[in-house]
Amino acid sequence: MAQKPSIPKGTRDFTPEEVVKRNYLFDVMKQAFANFGFQPIETPSFENSDTLMGKYGDEGDRLIFKILNSGDFLKKVDETDYREKDYAKLTGQISEKALRYDLTVPFARYVVQHQNEITFPFKRYQMQPVWRADRPQKGRFREFYQCDADVVGSTSLWQEVELVQLYDTVFSKLGLEGATIKINNRKILSGLAEVIGAEEKLIDFTVALDKLDKIGSEGVKKEMQEKGISAEAITKIEPLLSTADSPSEKLQTIKGLLSASEVGKQGIAETEFIVNTIDQLKLKACSIEIDVTLARGLNYYTGAIFEVAAPEQVNMGSIGGGGRYDDLTGIFGLKNMSGVGISFGLDRIYLVMEELDLFPKTVSANTRVLFVNFGNEEALYAMQAISALREAGISAELYPDDAKMGKQMGYADKRNIPFAVLAGGSEMDAQTYTLKNMKSGEQQTLSLDRLIDSLK
RNA sequence: GUGGUUGUAGCUCAGCUGGUUAGAGCGCUAGAUUGUGGUUCUAGAGGUCGCCGGUUCGAAACCGGUCUUCCACCCCA
């Protein structure tokens, strides 16, 4: 081995054991999605740059993987831009395609492009990898999977209610208890900005507010100041920043603050409808919590905002998020198409499941029985039984070489194959097979029919 | 994008202030055991000390660069 090969940072290989567990997660989600009436679609790994660029803010643009044009891509580049090393202008000239950054924007593009074939409201789910040119950390990769469920073409708040239930159903099926679904509403945030007269600083305001649990009230105030929000405005929202208050106390505070804002009042009404309805319908594995400081998520959210926090005992960021966006397809030219959706972060859910040891022990796609190879004549006899077992849906294999028995048994042991079959001369004469339970060490000699029965 | 951190055998890690042939445990291979694995015993294989360059009589160790790991920002699943 000359130079050890490697893979790009933030990417991973998956071992057979990992793939089996990941597939289990995919299966549980797929079933839940279908169960809730969502239909699967898939979109390409890469899109035209102009489909993606500018949809995730400046920070997002930086994190999009751009694909270099093929051929002599420098030929067409503008001389002046090249000489001045104008990054922004050059990028557009040498890269016309980019890897998908999330599943929501490609979905919006899909809806607009296929609007005449789609029957609305359209409920779709999608489970595909996305790529971000981020700096990797724990639970943070450059290639990872998102599992999204969205509804477009309905403004009904019942969709939000159902999506909360969908989160709960998936986590409940996975045995993952204690996740918190945090909910807020963009209209509440807009209302707040309006009341304090910082409408044009809405994004800065919400980003700072979102950091409350991380940097504390002083930190938030400082950041707001730096972003140019007036001291007077900050004083008005001061009661919100008290970390001592419970979420419901905060809600009361905010109701008072927002009494002068129509948008704000609407946001509160929507959020209370969702939470009260969920309270009546009950959740199995999760809890729901109004968090007026929750502002995570992209700028395109216009109504409800969701974020799922992993159970407290695990140190992991959010394992899911979503919200309502009234205008998403608007950027592609289709107006008045409201959508709402949620996303599951498969890779982080995997890490949480692993840390809490929640994967079922039976999750494995292992061979059930290994036939020991004693030589060609015996192997032929074994193959007849193997074919019959496979026909019966039992996964069986023959050790490929006529190796020492200890080695063959050791192989079965290492791979955790639960049964071994010994079929040599004496078994052939009697038309039987000796079945060994690798765990208990018990052996019994059986006819082919009995063998199949005992392995079922 | 900013700051820090990590890299020694397949894996987990030792290796004192630079000094002969770089170590351990586990794993691996072979034998003890010619139709019986997981235990035990014995022997053995396996390392450009991430990579490139520099300092030095001498570098795994010091310096610079680069890649990788993890962490805190930014941002986010």
d(CA A81, CA A406): 70
Q: Provide the CA A439 distance to its chain's centre, in angstroms.
A: 37
Average pLDDT, stretch A78-103? Answer: 83
Calculate the angstrom distance between C1' of B1 and CA of A182.
30
A374 and A343, same domain (yes or no):
no
Do residue A278 and residue A220 come from a single domain?
yes
Q: Which of residues 92-131 of A touch strand B (CB under 7 A)?
A: 102
**Does nucleic acid strand B have an atom less than 7 angstroms from the CB of A326?**
no
Question: Distance between CA A403 and CA A424 in Å, rounded?
Answer: 14
Checking if the pLDDT of A39 tops 90, the result is: yes
Task: Considering only residues A256 and A168, tell me which one the structure prediction assigns the higher pLDDT.
Answer: A168
Computed on alpha carbons and rounded to an integer, the radius of gyration of chain A in Å comes to: 29
* Distance B49 C1' – A14 CA (angstroms): 28
A54/A148 same-domain check: yes
Q: List strand residue ranges (DSSP E) for A187-278, in order.
A: none
ipTM of the modeled complex: 0.82
A384: phi then psi, degrees, rounded to nearest 5: -60, -45
Q: What is the pLDDT of residue A3?
A: 53
Same domain for A136 and A29, yes or no, is yes
Q: In terms of residue numbers, what domain contains A398?
A: 369-455
Question: Closest nucleotide (CA of A425 to C1')?
Answer: B35
Query: Does a structural domain hold residue A87?
Result: no
- Shared-domain flag, residues A403 and A254: no
Does A200 lie in the same domain as A152? Answer: yes
Confidence of residue A447 (pLDDT cuts 50, 70, 90): very high
Tally Cβ neighbours within 10 Å of residue A394: 17
pLDDT at position A362, please?
65
- Residues A290, A143 share a domain: yes
The residue type found at A197 is: G
The mean per-residue pLDDT over the stretch A324-348 comes to 91
A361 part of a folded domain: no
- Nucleotide nearest to A310 in CA–C1' terms: B77
Mean pLDDT to the nearest integer, A307-336: 88
pLDDT bin (cut points 50, 70, 90) of residue A1 is very low
Which region among A67-76, A290-299, A325-334, A404-413 has the lowest average model confidence (pLDDT)?
A: A290-299
Is the pLDDT higher at A299 or at A183?
A183
- A331: confidence class by pLDDT, cuts 50, 70, 90: confident
Whether A406 sits with its Cβ under 7 A from any strand B atom: the answer reads yes
Judge if A436 and A320 occupy the same domain. Answer: no
Q: Is the pLDDT of residue A297 over 80?
A: no
With a 7 Å cutoff on the CB, does A413 touch strand B? yes
Distance CA A399, CA A370 (A): 7
- Predicted pLDDT of residue A292: 86
Closest Cα partner for A97 from A135, A134, A45?
Answer: A45
| Helix axes A186-195 and A202-210, enclosed angle (nearest 10) | 110
Question: Amino acid identity, residue A47?
Answer: E
Q: Which DSSP letter does residue A55 get?
A: S
Q: How far is the CA of A406 from the C1' of B31 (A)?
A: 13
Q: Is residue A304 part of a domain?
A: yes
Tell me if A416 is assigned to some domain. Answer: yes
Q: Is the pLDDT of residue A300 over 60?
A: yes
What's the average model confidence in pLDDT over A15-28?
A: 89
Q: How far apart are CA A164 and CA A360, in angstroms?
A: 25
Inside any domain, residue A168: yes
Which nucleotide's C1' is closest to A405 (Cα)? Answer: B36
What are the angstrom distances between the C-alpha of A231 and each of A205, A227, A315?
13, 11, 35
Number of domains in chain A: 2
CA distance A42 to A371: 41
Please list the residues that pair with A343 across neighbouring strands: A148, A321
Q: What is the model's pLDDT at position A23?
A: 92
Q: Distance from residue A200 (CA) to nucleotide B9 (C1'), in Å? A: 61
A65 touches strand B (CB under 7 A): no
- Which pLDDT tens digit goes with each residue over A197-238? 877 878 888 888 888 878 878 888 888 888 888 888 888 888
- Taking residues A318-331, report their average pLDDT: 90
Q: Chain centroid to CA A378: how far?
A: 49
Same domain, yes or no: A428 and A327: no
The pLDDT mean for chain A works out to 88
pLDDT 10s digits, A114-130? 999 999 999 999 999 99
Cis-peptide, bond into residue A136, ω within 30° of zero: no
Could you tell me if residue A85 is inside a domain? no
Question: Sorting pLDDT into bands at 50, 70 and 90, what band is A243?
Answer: low
Euclidean distance between CA atoms A121 and A340, whole angstroms:
11
Q: A171 and A316 share a domain? A: yes
Phi, psi angle pair for A437, to nearest 5°: -85, 115
CATH number at residue A393: 3.40.50.800
Q: Where are the strands (E) in A81-139, listed by range?
A: 97-99, 122-131
Protein chain A, residues 435-454, with a C-beta closer than 7 Å to any atom of nucleic acid strand B: 436, 438-439, 441, 443
Cα(A67)–Cα(A177) distance, integer angstroms: 41
Which residue, A310, A325, A355, sits at the end of a domain? Answer: A355
- C-alpha span between A192 and A241 (Å, rounded): 13
Tokens of A306: 């969701």
Q: Which of A301-305, A351-355, A361-365, A438-442 has the lowest mean pLDDT?
A: A361-365
Report the C-alpha gap between A435 and A412 in whole angstroms: 13
pLDDT tens digits, one per residue of A137-159: 888 899 999 999 999 999 999 99
The pLDDT of residue A56: 86
Q: CB-side exposure of A394: number of CA atoms within 13 Å?
A: 21
Q: Is the CB of A5 under 7 A from strand B?
A: no
- Strand B proximal to A371 Cβ, under 7 A: no
Give the DSSP letter of residue A311: P
A136 strand B contact, CB < 7 Å = yes
Is A196 inside any structural domain?
yes
CA A430 to chain centroid: 55
Backbone angles phi, psi at A196, to 5 degrees: -95, 0
Which CATH number do you get for residue A226? 3.30.930.10
Same domain, A451 and A405: yes
pLDDT at A349 over 90: yes
Determine whether the distance from the CB of A317 to the nearest atom of strand B is below 7 Å: yes
Dist CA A383 CA A232 (whole Å): 83
Average pLDDT over residues A391-410: 90
Question: How many angstroms from the chain centroid is the CA of residue A376?
Answer: 49
Q: Does residue A203 reach within 7 angstroms of strand B, measured from its CB? A: no
A343 CB-to-strand B distance under 7 Å: yes
Q: Are residues A344 and A376 in the same domain?
A: no
Span A9-18, pLDDT tens digits: 888 888 888 8
Within 7 Å of a protein beta carbon, the nucleotides of strand B are 1-3, 28-31, 33-38, 48, 50, 67-77
Residue A73 lies in a domain: no
**Measuring from the CA of residue A374 to each C1', which nucleotide is nearest?**
B35
Strands A419-422 vs A369-371: parallel, antiparallel or unpaired: parallel
Q: What is the pLDDT of residue A2?
A: 37
Say whether the CB atom of A146 is under 7 angstroms from strand B.
Answer: yes
Nearest Cα neighbor of A325 from A317, A337, A333, A308 is: A337
- Cβ of A169 near strand B (under 7 Å)? The reply is no
Lowest mean pLDDT among A236-250, A308-322, A397-411: A236-250
pTM across the whole model: 0.88
